[in-house]
Amino acid sequence: MKILVAEDDQLMLKMLEFRLKKDGHEVIVTRDGREAVAKLLEFKPDLVITDIMMPYISGLEVVGAVKKQYPTGTPVIILSGMGQENVVLEAFQLGADDYITKPFSPNELSVRVRRFDATAVK
């Protein structure tokens, strides 16, 4: 599964990348929303994981861009902080498919990603 990850916290980004690669996914990492939107066309991901608070372009705008680019496919999982319920609701209105609240367990991430993996053995 090709996964595009957008996260501005470098350490978090590396951990996400490491975990997803360990789970056998092809991962491309981006450090802000602008880079994520730019890589959407080039990379054609099967799944996008994006943080909400990012420089230049927020995660919400990334959700909007993904849904505009791939109206039928490409699910989006958003990473939100505690107390960002309103933003999560806004993301769902824009078409986000799932969300994970920080702090989260890497195992939880793997399980949630697997739900969107059509090639995974059920």
**Residues in the site for another protein, rule: CB under 8 A?**
9, 11-12, 14-15, 18-19, 22, 102-108
Q: Residue 100 CB, nearest distance to another protein (Å)?
A: 10
Q: Which is nearer to another protein, 11 or 118 (CB)?
A: 11
Give the whole-angstrom CA distance, residue 24 versus residue 81.
27
DSSP string across 5-39: EE-S-HHHHHHHHHHHHHTT-EEEEESSHHHHHHH
- How is residue 29 written in tokens? 């990492």
Q: Which is nearer to another protein, 14 or 44 (CB)?
A: 14
Q: Residue 51 CB, nearest distance to another protein (Å)?
A: 10
Q: Which is nearer to another protein, 11 or 121 (CB)?
A: 11
Q: Residue 70 CB, nearest distance to another protein (Å)?
A: 28
Note whether 38 and 57 are within 8 A (CB): no
C-alpha Rg value of the chain to the nearest Å: 13
